[in-house]
Chain A
Amino acid sequence: MTAFVNQLPIGLSIGAVLLLIALGLTFTFGQMGVINMAHGSFIMAGAYTAYLLQDLVLALPAAFLVAGAMGLVLERLAIRHLYGRPLDTLLLTWGVSLVLQQLARDLFGAPNVQVSAPSWLSGGVGILPYNRLFIMGLAVAGVVGVWFYLTRTGLGRRTQAVVQNRQLAATSGIDTGRIDMLTFFIGSGLAGVAGVAVTLIGPVGPALGDYYIVDAFLVVVAGGLGQLRGAVLAALGLGLLNSYAEFWSDASLAKVIVFAVIIAFLQIRPQGMFVLRSRALT
């Protein structure tokens, strides 16, 4: 029982990191249908930003801007030309992530580096270490922020309009190109924030993003496309499942178990937890 309780903060904080990453994917994959394999590299970029600054409070906005800017450039230079070809985009962005990873290796060296956590994050309440609590808080703030942006701001509503009917949105005077840029900026920026969060629980290396990105995509698959509720539940579920599977079985079996659970879940809910029902065929 104590083991069960002790494992809880680990599972929840992994879930929180996945949630932050998946929030970014909700924007780029969910809203725009782009499978961005470079999303993992943006996580890494955020983490290295934290490493360079060595100051958590500064790092959060800085990482958001750095990763967001990288996403913006990627969208303008390449992805924009491939809309409607999601699988090609996947391969293209993987090429980008290869280049970015090698760049990180050349700039910062292949060995892992450490970001020192601020002193006010050492310690904790009961079984909850402050650093993990902080990550959970960050995820909550991320969800609230995204929800507020999408439903309560004019730009967010326009974003939703573009998602639901691009042509109609364009004819009603929305500059869809700009919305795409903004959406990509925010989605990638969130990856940067997730990168900062990751530095609180582990070392930073060029392949940092690879470790999380596959799971984060699974969150989107299980949660349902472009669904905030689904992303939250799926991220927490996956985080907990991951850490408990690792704990109770062999660590090496955990991912297989997670995979099997996802496939089983898709037998019940093939389109994820929440689906926008529509009358269209596809």
Chain B
Amino acid sequence: MIRRHLPFATVAVIALVAAPLLLEPFRLGLLAKYLCYAIVALGIGLAWGKGGMLTLGQGVFFGLGGYSMAMYLKLTEAGGAGGGLPDFMVWSGVESLPALWVPFGNPVFALGMAVLGPMAIALILGTLVFRQRVRGAYFAILTQALAAAMVILLVGQQGLTGGTNGMTNFFELFGQDLAEDSTQRGLYLVVASVLGLLYLATRQLVNSRYGRLLVAVRDGEDRVRFLGYDPALVKTVTFAISAGMAGLAGALFVPVVGIISPALLGVVPSLELVVAVAVGGRHALAGAVLGAVVMGYAKTAFSEQFADGWLYLQGALFILVMTLAPKGIAGISRSIAGRLRHARAT
């Protein structure tokens, strides 16, 4: 029992106690950003790794969460200084607050929409697609098309969404100054705790009967149907859970990083997250989380050094992982552990 929870406990202590003490605010902020991505990755690990649904559109859900949060933040500021209108609306000549925006002035509604909005879209899309037994590559292509369409929509609706630039310049959250180190540290702790709790909940889910059913759907959808289950329902629910996680991650991302824009949620960022999960190891939830943090860190580190080199490196990394180690870091470490155990036994 203790042994099973020891790795998680160690990581939790490092993340919640050591990191805030040791890292300078800038680095801690970066880590918070990676942990937001890790929440999305956890959802991908569930949907793809356990459920076999390769979703290339998680950026859409991440973005919906992010924009919901950003709208709330913009409105709280505008209420004070901007005469009721967010700055970018004034610049693009919008004269009165669009009706769509009005309810987002309420933080409960905004946060609720950040999670429930993506879940609702995933439920609708999943029902329509999985019920028709559209799956595998076809599902992947459809989610990618959704991501592409979403970006074009956001860019085009300048007055509603801030267009290509998205929304930025957030100053306070729930009365706390976002520029303050203490606020950022608090945000980091919130993100880390949310990730930890979601990880535990997802692990519980995966180890439950539902998790077994999900794996069975992944490996033999038609057989599961003849066991009397409706695979479309199982897949839709799982897809919606992963969408909800991405939405929540997006909502946390905005105050941490201070911007949300179409470039952060299109086809490429969605794929990057999937690749991070693949690098970490899709079959293990911890691998997905680890992959997101490692890839996030690597991107920052290499982009700082040589801006263009990162794309070469990232490309090369996928090619290597896919051909040589399809189970990712988690797979490699598992096989090493297995060999060690074997060596000790003999």
10 tightest A-B CB contacts, nearest first: A252-B156, A95-B318, A270-B132, A99-B315, A255-B149, A98-B315, A92-B322, A102-B311, A95-B315, A217-B141
CB distance from A168 to the nearest CB of B (A): 24
In the complex where A92-B322, A252-B155, A263-B125 touch, is A218 in contact with B271 (Cβ < 8 A)?
Answer: no
* Docked-complex contact A214 and B148, CB < 8 angstroms: yes
Encode A249-268 as 1/0 by CB contact (under 8 A) with B: 01111111011001100110
Instruction: Give B319's nearest chain A residue, CB to CB.
Output: A95
The answer to whether the Cβ of A122 comes within 8 Å of any Cβ in the partner chain is: no
The answer to whether the Cβ of B110 comes within 8 Å of any Cβ in the partner chain is: no
The answer to whether the Cβ of B308 comes within 8 Å of any Cβ in the partner chain is: yes
CB distance from B287 to the nearest CB of A (A): 15
The answer to whether the Cβ of A178 comes within 8 Å of any Cβ in the partner chain is: no
In the complex where A87-B140, A88-B326, A281-B222 touch, is A94 in contact with B129 (Cβ < 8 A)?
Answer: no
The answer to whether the Cβ of B39 comes within 8 Å of any Cβ in the partner chain is: no
Instruction: Give A87's nearest chain B residue, CB to CB.
Output: B54
Q: CA of A270 to CA of B141 in the docked complex: distance in angstroms?
A: 14
The answer to whether the Cβ of B26 comes within 8 Å of any Cβ in the partner chain is: no
CB distance from B48 to the nearest CB of A (A): 8
Could you say which of A218, A254, A263 has the most chain B C-beta atoms within 10 Å of its C-beta?
A263
Q: Of residues 116 to 161 in B, which have CB atoms within 8 Å of A's CB atoms?
A: 125, 128-129, 132-134, 136-138, 140-142, 144-146, 148-150, 152-157
Selecting from A42-50, A78-86, A126-134, A137-145, the interface stretch reads A78-86
Q: CA of A258 to CA of B148 in the docked complex: distance in angstroms?
A: 11
The answer to whether the Cβ of B91 comes within 8 Å of any Cβ in the partner chain is: no
Residues of A contacting B183 in the complex (Cβ-Cβ under 8 angstroms):
none
Instruction: Give B153's nearest chain A residue, CB to CB.
Output: A252
Residues of A contacting B152 in the complex (Cβ-Cβ under 8 angstroms):
251-252, 254-256
Q: Can you name 15 A-B residue pairings with CB atoms under 8 Å?
A: A29-B137, A86-B136, A92-B322, A95-B314, A102-B315, A106-B308, A218-B141, A250-B156, A254-B152, A255-B149, A259-B145, A263-B128, A263-B142, A266-B128, A282-B222
In the complex where A85-B326, A210-B267, A253-B153 touch, is A98 in contact with B142 (Cβ < 8 A)?
Answer: no
Q: CA of A213 to CA of B63 in the docked complex: distance in angstroms?
A: 22
In the complex where A92-B322, A99-B316 touch, is A258 in contact with B308 (Cβ < 8 A)?
Answer: no
Interface residues of B (CB under 8 A from A): 54, 125, 128-129, 132-134, 136-138, 140-142, 144-146, 148-150, 152-157, 222, 267, 271, 274-275, 278, 308, 311-312, 314-319, 322-323, 326
Could you say which of A82, A86, A266 has the most chain B C-beta atoms within 10 Å of its C-beta?
A266
Q: CA of A214 to CA of B138 in the docked complex: distance in angstroms?
A: 12
* Docked-complex contact B134 and A270, CB < 8 angstroms: yes
In the complex where A87-B140, A250-B156 touch, is A94 in contact with B275 (Cβ < 8 A)?
Answer: yes
Instruction: Give A98's nearest chain B residue, CB to CB.
Output: B315
Residues of A contacting B150 in the complex (Cβ-Cβ under 8 angstroms):
256
* Docked-complex contact A217 and B314, CB < 8 angstroms: no
In the complex where A81-B323, A90-B140, A94-B275 touch, is A262 in contact with B318 (Cβ < 8 A)?
Answer: no
CB distance from B151 to the nearest CB of A (A): 9
The answer to whether the Cβ of A158 comes within 8 Å of any Cβ in the partner chain is: no
Residues of A contacting B138 in the complex (Cβ-Cβ under 8 angstroms):
221
The answer to whether the Cβ of A73 comes within 8 Å of any Cβ in the partner chain is: no
* Docked-complex contact A98 and B311, CB < 8 angstroms: yes
Interface of A is mostly: helix
The answer to whether the Cβ of A96 comes within 8 Å of any Cβ in the partner chain is: yes
Q: CA of A263 to CA of B142 in the docked complex: distance in angstroms?
A: 9
The answer to whether the Cβ of A170 comes within 8 Å of any Cβ in the partner chain is: no
The answer, among A95, A215, A253, A256, for a CB contact under 8 Å with B317, is A95
* Docked-complex contact A266 and B129, CB < 8 angstroms: yes
Residues of A contacting B278 in the complex (Cβ-Cβ under 8 angstroms):
88, 91
* Docked-complex contact A78 and B222, CB < 8 angstroms: no
CB distance from B67 to the nearest CB of A (A): 15
Q: 8 additional contacts, CB 8 Å, given A33-B137, A90-B140, A102-B312?
A: A86-B137, A87-B54, A90-B54, A99-B312, A214-B144, A220-B141, A255-B149, A258-B149
The answer, among B133, B136, B311, B326, for a CB contact under 8 Å with A99, is B311
The answer to whether the Cβ of A183 comes within 8 Å of any Cβ in the partner chain is: no
CB distance from A270 to the nearest CB of B (A): 4
Q: CA of A256 to CA of B145 in the docked complex: distance in angstroms?
A: 9
Residues of A contacting B132 in the complex (Cβ-Cβ under 8 angstroms):
266-267, 270
The answer, among A90, A254, A282, for a CB contact under 8 Å with B137, is A90
Residues of A contacting B137 in the complex (Cβ-Cβ under 8 angstroms):
29, 33, 35, 86-87, 90
Encode A83-127 as 1/0 by CB contact (under 8 A) with B: 001111111101111110110011000000000000000000000
Residues of A contacting B317 in the complex (Cβ-Cβ under 8 angstroms):
95
The answer, among A82, A256, A259, for a CB contact under 8 Å with B322, is A82
Q: CA of A143 to CA of B142 in the docked complex: distance in angstroms?
A: 25
Residues of A contacting B315 in the complex (Cβ-Cβ under 8 angstroms):
95-99, 102
Residues of A contacting B133 in the complex (Cβ-Cβ under 8 angstroms):
270
Residues of A contacting B318 in the complex (Cβ-Cβ under 8 angstroms):
91-92, 94-95, 98
Encode A235-255 as 1/0 by CB contact (under 8 A) with B: 000000000000000111111
CB distance from B192 to the nearest CB of A (A): 28
Residues of B contacting A99 in the complex (Cβ-Cβ under 8 angstroms):
311-312, 315-316, 319
Instruction: Give B309's nearest chain A residue, CB to CB.
Output: A102
